[in-house]
Amino acid sequence: MEIFPSIFLHILLFPVLTGFCSATDTLRLNETITYGKTLVSSGQTFELGFFWPSDSASKWYMGIWYKKFPDIIVWVANRENPIGNSSEVLTISPDGDLVLLNYITGFITWSSNSSKSEPGTVAQLLESGNLVLRGKDDNKQNYVWQSFDFPSDTLLPGMKQGWNLSSGVNRYLTSWQDENDPSPGDITFRLDNIGMPQSVLRKGSEKIFRKGPWNGVLFSGSVGWRNTVFKSIFVYDNEEIYYMNELVDNSVIIRITVNRSGLVQRYLLKNGESSWTLVDTSQNDQCDNYGFCGANSICKLKSKPNCECLYGFVPKSKSEWDVLNWSSGCVRRITLGCQQDPIKFLKLGGVQLPDLLQFSLNKSMTIKDCHAECLKNCSCVAYANSDIREGGGGCFMWFGDLIDIREYSQEKQQYIYIRMAAAELDDNKKTRLVLILVLSLVCGMLIISFLIFCLIKKRKAKSAFDYKVKDIELPMFDLTTVTNATKRFSLTNIIGEGGFGIVYKGTLPTGQEVAVKRLSTNSGQGLQEFKSEVILIAKLQHRNLVRLLGCCPEGDERMLIYEYMPNKSLDYFIFDQDRKALLKWQKRFEIIMGISRGLLYLHQDSRLRIIHRDLKTSNILLDSNLNPKISDFGLARTFGGDQTESKTKRVVGTYGYMSPEYVVDGKFSMKSDVFSFGVLLLEIISGRKNRTFHHSEHHHNLLGHVWLLWKEGRAFELANDVAELLFFVESEVVRCIQIGLLCVQKLPQDRPTMASVVVMLSNETVALPLPKEPGFFVERNSAETDTLTSEERCPTQNVLTISVLEAR
């Protein structure tokens, strides 16, 4: 720290007293910023000035924050050197540096200290949030100094995170020490440049999250996000290695922040909104935790438990592994000798490569050389291409343990080859042979028994609906229990209302929460019919169907007791401004999967064939983990063994979800359910209702809109409209949309069965047919009434119309 010549102090006194008045974005020689004065960027987004943490008015910092959110401080100049009191000013020194100085003592607390500074520079707070020092008349981006080169805990668009290779400077983010102390904390987020770049989050020196290595296209283990809000740019050349965000859509603001609790978070603010949305975070799941499964293992999100040893490896400590403590990892089943044993390599794809700890890299080797080199060197445990462009090139070799491998499906594959004793793989072949033999035997037997079963079943088919009531153990609740549980059907306990009656929340004496559906009394249904139909529903057991716990028929009262779903129904989420944020792409996909499985069960896997007839968002309930459960079988129909279609004169259902053949001809079948499922799927992806969809450029409903986008190859834009889906894998979304379109095709015979829908959804490699035009996509008829729902549905008929008779 240095003391300025006294002349400088004199110069300063005058402006200190007058200050400057109106907010500007530029600070010139002889001007100062004191407490209460600020610079404001030209578009009013950012503001620079003094602030102090809430717990201490005696520690002052110079920083930059959002003008509308003074609490969100994106940059701090003197992070480590708080200043004491109001005799401090920010100004430009005679030799052109930006300085924080005490005008009484002349003591300098902080200085931009740029080697390029020259007299006459001016400081300007740019609209990007960058504070720059530049020559007086120089408007080029040739800055003498810029705050973007000295990140605090926030990465703003346009700011580079990474290396200037010629100067050796690595710009990285550091968390605050704590809420009131901006000095550097122990969480850092930086680009490591050892071998190939990796993006690493650390707590102290310990890695807690890692993406990489860079493979020429993306970071191994990450997916190519697509969105219309910002672009992620990664530059890797001889001068620089850096990551940067660039805003595409100027109506939003984004920032990336290193959270003190050890997370990197991306926040987004939409124009005119007053709260930030957390759109992405570094450790999204367990497998994102660095080295979660220990050495030589692989973390698989889709399996339970998540950790598996690599093939040919076994847990180092079986007892620890058994109690789900993975930290000691895995060791080889067959110890690898050196030259004498034959070696093979196991090819593994769709994974994030292990961390670059003990490794070597030769960028000019081919995979063949790489193989040969690794084979030669006994301590080489694995190899891989380092660059996947142009068919792949470069050679990574790993020595020692393989750490932090996770399963990840990527379109552009990068394979890793893991050294194995040849015996390991040969064993595998032998067991496979034996397995195949056994399997084919079993299959043969199964086929024979199936044929026999079919024969018997065919004979019995006529009596398929003669249900025996006695073997079902459905609890009958007595009226008093139910009355007490629902506080005498109190108004405050009402959680829903439908055409069949009111739904109350109840608490049984055991503490179990239930939903009680009190059916309208004028149903005219006999007790016996009611019971047998209830039993029919009670027999349906699937994790994606809402579970019926019992019923309570007493006098005229007909009540059904269901499991209670704390999260209400899907429409309550996807169409709600705030709640929809909870449904990110992955969750939405899981919901779609769940519904498809539940529906498949109804159509095919349950003992009956059931057509639901009223699939819609409000009939998909969500449990505490937001798992979907199909509910409301009030309109469901059962079909006999070979029956595939039926006709009704009374078309009931909900417009927007009903297929053309059903609305027009009253024909319903599994394929009409498939149509409703397709609508549901597209609504889940777009967050828009089919019926009430509006677009400025056409009058189609949602199906029509999707069809237009699809024909123009822009289907993914459907998801772009939904901020919550900012981060999605384009190919996954487009695939899903295609499946949705296949389901809503006009002709029932063109639509897939639920069985193929489930296969198409769960297996990315299954090729999809091209969809034909959807049913009901043209301009809607505005005279149509909105729904044929609830009220109009059927007070006349019995409530649970799973009536076998009409279906035949």
Active site residues: 614
Q: Does 440 bind ligand NAG (CB under 6 A)?
A: no
Q: Based on CB atoms, which residue is closest to ligand NAG, 170 or 787?
A: 170
- Do residues 636 and 652 make contact, with C-beta atoms less than 8 angstroms apart? no
Q: Which helix (H) or strand (E) holds 398?
A: strand 395-399
As measured in angstroms, the least distance from the Cβ of 744 to ligand NAG is 38
Q: Does 142 bind ligand NAG (CB under 6 A)?
A: no
As measured in angstroms, the least distance from the Cβ of 169 to ligand NAG is 7
Q: Which residues are annotated as a binding site?
A: 517
In sequence order, which residues have a C-beta less than 8 Å from that of residue 504 and are 6 or more positions away?
A: 486, 489, 490, 493, 494, 495, 515, 516, 518
Q: Does 379 bind ligand NAG (CB under 6 A)?
A: yes
Candidates 369, 665, 721, 791; binder of ligand NAG (CB under 6 A) is: 369
Tokens for 766, please give them.
Answer: 């299954």
Q: Does 87 bind ligand NAG (CB under 6 A)?
A: yes
Candidates 127, 280, 320, 605; binder of ligand NAG (CB under 6 A) is: 320
Largest Cα separation within the chain, whole Å, is: 110
Which residue stretch of 197-205, 322-330, 411-419, 631-639 sits at the interface with ligand NAG (rule: CB under 6 A)?
A: 322-330
Kindly identify the residues of this chain, within the stretch 504-543, that bind ligand NAG according to CB under 6 A.
none
Q: Based on CB atoms, which residue is closest to ligand NAG, 16 or 29?
A: 29
Rg of the chain over CA atoms, in angstroms? 33
- Do residues 393 and 363 make contact, with C-beta atoms less than 8 angstroms apart? yes
Q: Does 286 bind ligand NAG (CB under 6 A)?
A: no
Tokens for 151, please give them.
Answer: 């990140």
- Do residues 23 and 16 make contact, with C-beta atoms less than 8 angstroms apart? no
- Do residues 220 and 352 make contact, with C-beta atoms less than 8 angstroms apart? yes
Q: Does 426 bind ligand NAG (CB under 6 A)?
A: no
Closest CA to 248 of 232, 267, 271: 232
Strand segments, DSSP code E, in 612-748 are 620-622, 628-630, 637-639, 645-647, 667-669
Q: Does 116 bind ligand NAG (CB under 6 A)?
A: no
Q: Based on CB atoms, which residue is closest to ligand NAG, 179 or 576?
A: 179
Bridge partners for 65 per DSSP: 47, 73
Q: Interface mask (CB under 6 A) for ligand NAG, residues 235-264, using x and -? A: ----xx------------------xxx-x-
As measured in angstroms, the least distance from the Cβ of 247 to ligand NAG is 21
Q: Which residues are annotated as a binding site for ATP?
A: 517
- Among left, alpha and beta (phi > 0; psi -120 to 50; other), residue 291 is left
Number of residues lying near ligand NAG (CB under 6 A) = 33
Q: Does 365 bind ligand NAG (CB under 6 A)?
A: yes
As measured in angstroms, the least distance from the Cβ of 294 to ligand NAG is 8
Q: Kindly report the three-state secondary structure assignment for every residue of 557-608.
A: EEEEEEECCCCCECHHHHCCCCHHHHCCHHHHHHHHHHHHHHHHHHHHHCCC
Which residue stretch of 324-332, 514-522, 573-581, 700-708 sits at the interface with ligand NAG (rule: CB under 6 A)?
A: 324-332
Q: Does 54 bind ligand NAG (CB under 6 A)?
A: no
How far, in Å, CA of 544 to CA of 536, rounded? 17
Candidates 26, 44, 85, 522; binder of ligand NAG (CB under 6 A) is: 85
CA pseudo-torsion sign 418, 421, 424, 425: positive
How far, in Å, CA of 256 to CA of 736, rounded? 29
Which residue stretch of 103-111, 195-203, 538-546, 598-606 sits at the interface with ligand NAG (rule: CB under 6 A)?
A: 103-111
As measured in angstroms, the least distance from the Cβ of 59 to ligand NAG is 13
Q: Does 377 bind ligand NAG (CB under 6 A)?
A: yes
How far, in Å, CA of 644 to CA of 803, rounded? 16
Give contact residues for ligand NAG (rule: CB under 6 A).
Answer: 1, 11, 29-30, 84-85, 87, 102, 104-105, 111, 113, 164, 166-167, 239-240, 259-261, 263, 320, 325, 327-328, 360, 362, 364-365, 369, 377, 379, 399
